[in-house]
Chains A and B, each alone.
Chain A
Amino acid sequence: QKEVEQNSGPLSVPEGAIASLNCTYSDRVSQSFFWYRQYSGKSPELIMSIYSNGDKEDGRFTAQLNKASQYVSLLIRDSQPSDSATYLCAVITGFQKLVFGTGTRLLVSP
Chain B
Amino acid sequence: GAGVSQSPRYKVAKRGQDVALRCDPISGHVSLFWYQQALGQGPEFLTYFQNEAQLDKSGLPSDRFFAERPEGSVSTLKIQRTQQEDSAVYLCASSKSRDSHYGYTFGSGTRLTVV
Contact = CB atoms under 8 A, between A and B. Distances in A.
Interface stretch (B66-74, B78-86, B104-112): B104-112
Contacts of B45: 97-99
Contact of A46 (B33, B42, B48, B103): B103
Given A44-B91, A88-B42, A98 B104 contact: yes
Nearest to A92: B100
B62 interface: no
Listed residue (A46, A88, A92, A98) with the most chain B CB atoms within 10 angstroms of its CB: A98
Interface residues of A, number: 22
A49 B102 contact: yes
A103 B42 contact: yes
Interface residues of B, number: 23
Given A42-B108, A97-B33, A97-B48, A102 B103 contact: no
Interface of A: 4, 8, 32, 34, 42-46, 49, 88, 90, 92, 95-103
Contact of B100 (A8, A32, A45, A102): A32
A46 B94 CA distance: 12
A44 B101 contact: no
Given A43-B107, A90-B42, A98-B103, 10 more contacts: A32-B101, A43-B106, A44-B43, A46-B103, A95-B56, A97-B45, A98-B33, A98-B45, A100-B44, A103-B42
B105 A100 contact: no
Contact of B56 (A8, A32, A34, A97): A97
Contacts of B91: 43-44
A100 B106 CA distance: 13
A62 B11 CA distance: 38
B63 interface: no
Contact of A45 (B40, B44, B106): B106
A43 B104 contact: no
